Amino acid sequence: MHKLPVVIQGGMGAGVSGWRLAQAVSRTGQLGVVSGTALDEILVRGLQDGDPGGDIRRALDAFPFREMAERIGRKYYIAGGKAAMAAYASTPPHAKDEPRERIELCLLGNFVEVFLAREGHDNPVGINYLEKLQVPHLPSMYGAMLAGVDYVLMGAGIPLQVPGVLDRLARHEAVEYTLHVTGSREGDDLAVRFDPRDYADRALAPLRRPAFLAIVSSNTLAATMLRKASGKVDGLIIETRTAGGHNAPPRGKLQLTAEGEPVYGERDAIDLARIRELGAPFWLAGGYGSAAKVREALELGATGVQVGTAFAFTRESGLREDLKQALLEKAQRHEAEIFTDPLASPTGFPFKVARLEGTCSEDAIFAARPPVCDLGFLRELYRDDDGKIAYRCPAEPLSVYVTKGGRAEDAAGRKCLCNALMANIGHQQVRCGRHVEPPLVTAGDDLTEIAGFLPAGAVSYGAVDVLEALLGGARC
Ligand SMILES: Cc1cc2nc3c(=O)[nH]c(=O)nc-3n(C[C@H](O)[C@H](O)[C@H](O)COP(=O)(O)O)c2cc1C
């Protein structure tokens, strides 16, 4: 393995930790991580936006299987970009039996993002996936490996199957991944399968097997990953509930504060002495975005820290400029606020939401959004009455969700994160030429501190400013 980084810039989906941010961090010798979430959709929307600068097309030119890259490039690229109020082409949501093109989009989307993050330097780059979004995992990881990804990081679930998959994909062998299907029965076929040879138009040399880091939020899960995974787990990211994005739910019955946030207790605390005893390298995440917290983590025996929020508002992040600026200004005025929403995410995990006018954090904006479910990354797989695998999302229209056997109480307060997260990075869908999907920004409790990274007199800051603040300028 490479020299281990002190700072891991955490994966931030969808597209917030895009290749520009990961490249900026990796160039300094710390670990830049691209988000692997929805890269197929980000690819096709980037091409329809005209691929300004030609980065996507340059990366597609480097893809080893030429016919596939050229065909997809031709199909989605719009010279000069689509009209601002025109809709993006719709792609079918992921499903167990995927159309071939959907798999190709995963291969290409993941390849493009990692290729661009690695371009122009020799330092390691990582990719982050959410375990819960299982269907696209296999072609996504293979696409990232074809581009030479050095680390795969995965949380939001229990990624026991992943290390073994990486071993096999490095040898271009067929792989399978067992899906979680609600209500499944013994004997049901729950596996998605992927054979690289079905997509390769020529034989390739073996690939480098990336290091695998599991993102966990409890001692039990940390130990389980090291003991029971299907292959080598090279390290652990220990993430606490102040972190941006999704958080682990509290143990036991959900209780809420007067403001409606989940209450965490003693049983949710992580015992770092027991983590140290496991003997694997580990990084601490959630509120570690300062020099003092980096020192504290190192003193606690960690190899380093994983930081997200501080990087989400850098010039290089994929977040829309207007959203970055609005939240930076709020932070400067000491008005930045985070709400840990127990309901917003269709995954059922608590999700941190930055309060911001004009986004779905406002009730009126959320209520005015038609409840369309057309991206479907977060859909739940369930066994229907005929024994087939079907799909539902608690953020889809309630009547549809209930018809599919979903419970109305499980749908209350759910928000369409798929469409909102696309809007956050400037890929907002437009419907009927007038309705524009509103964003919904996530960030950690450290949002209140981001103005501290601004150099004197500046209105924006870069990844290097964050790294200098964390490492005292010593390592950049
Ligand atoms: C905007 C944003 C999006 C995130 N998305 C993901 C994600 O897709 N996958 C993931 O494992 N973690 C995600 N995270 C968590 C980060 O990778 C990181 O662990 C966390 O931000 C560290 O805590 P901090 O926010 O206090 O720095 C996200 C964080 C932010 C701020």
Would the pLDDT of 17 be above 70? yes
Q: Is the pLDDT of residue 475 over 60?
A: no
Rounded to whole angstroms, the Cα distance separating 171 from 7 reads: 30
Residue 312 Cβ < 6 Å to ligand 1? yes
- Position 1 confidence tier, pLDDT thresholds 50, 70, 90: low
Q: Is the shortest distance between the CB of 444 and ligand 1 below 6 Å?
A: yes
**pLDDT exceeds 70 at position 196:** yes
Q: Residue 196 has which token pair?
A: 């690289």
Does ligand 1 come within 6 angstroms of the Cβ of 216?
A: no
Q: Does the CB atom of residue 429 touch ligand 1 within 6 A?
A: no
Tens digits of per-residue pLDDT, 109-137? 999 999 999 999 999 999 999 999 999 99
268 lines ligand 1 (CB under 6 A): no
The two beta strands, 211-216 and 435-436, are: unpaired
Q: Mean pLDDT, the chain, as a whole number?
A: 95
Q: How close is the Cα of 11 to the center of ligand 1, in Å? A: 6
pLDDT at 350 over 70: yes
Going from the Cα of 469 to the center of ligand 1, the distance in angstroms, rounded, reads 19
Residue (of 394, 353, 342, 347) closest to 373 by Cα position: 394
Residue 260 has pLDDT above 70, yes or no: yes
Q: 406 CB under 6 A from ligand 1? A: no
- List residues bridging with 381 in a β-sheet: 391
CB 235 within 8 A of CB 220: no
- For 421, residues 6+ apart whose C-beta sits below 8 A from its C-beta are 13, 14, 15, 37, 38, 440
pLDDT at 96 exceeding the cut of 60: yes
- Give pLDDT, residue 472: 84
What percent of the chain has a predicted confidence (pLDDT) above 70?
99
Atom number, ligand 1, closest to the C-alpha of residue 441: 1
Residue type, 449: E
Residue of minimum CA distance from atom 29 in ligand 1:
244
Q: What is the pLDDT of residues 54-83, one digit of tens each?
A: 999 999 999 999 999 999 999 999 999 999
Ligand 1 pocket, 37 CB below 6 A? yes
**With a 6 A CB cut-off, is 13 part of the ligand 1 pocket?**
yes
Nearest atom within ligand 1 for CA of residue 289: 27
Report the separation in Å between the CA atom of 386 and the middle of ligand 1, taken as the mean of its atom positions. 39
Residue 476 has pLDDT above 70, yes or no: no
Whether residue 275 contacts residue 300, with contact meaning beta carbons closer than 8 Å, is answered with: no
CB 62 within 8 A of CB 115: yes
Query: Rounded to an integer, what distance in angstroms lies between the CA atom of residue 247 and that of residue 351?
Result: 6
User: Are 463 and 9 in contact, with CB atoms under 8 Å apart?
Assistant: yes
Q: 25, 140, 247, 309: which to mutate for ligand 1, most atoms within 8 A of CB? A: 309
The answer, yes or no, to whether any atom of ligand 1 lies below 6 A from the CB of 130, is yes
Any atom of ligand 1 within 6 Å of the Cβ of 462: no
> Ligand 1 centre and the CA of 377: distance in Å?
18
**Least confident window among 23-27, 202-206, 425-429:** 202-206
Provide the whole-model pTM: 0.97
Residue 343 has pLDDT above 50, yes or no: yes
**334 CA distance to ligand 1 middle (Å):** 22
Most informative mutation of 7, 8, 9, 12 for ligand 1 (most atoms within 8 A of CB): 12
Asked if residue 34 has pLDDT above 50, the reply is yes
Q: What is the pLDDT of residue 474?
A: 46
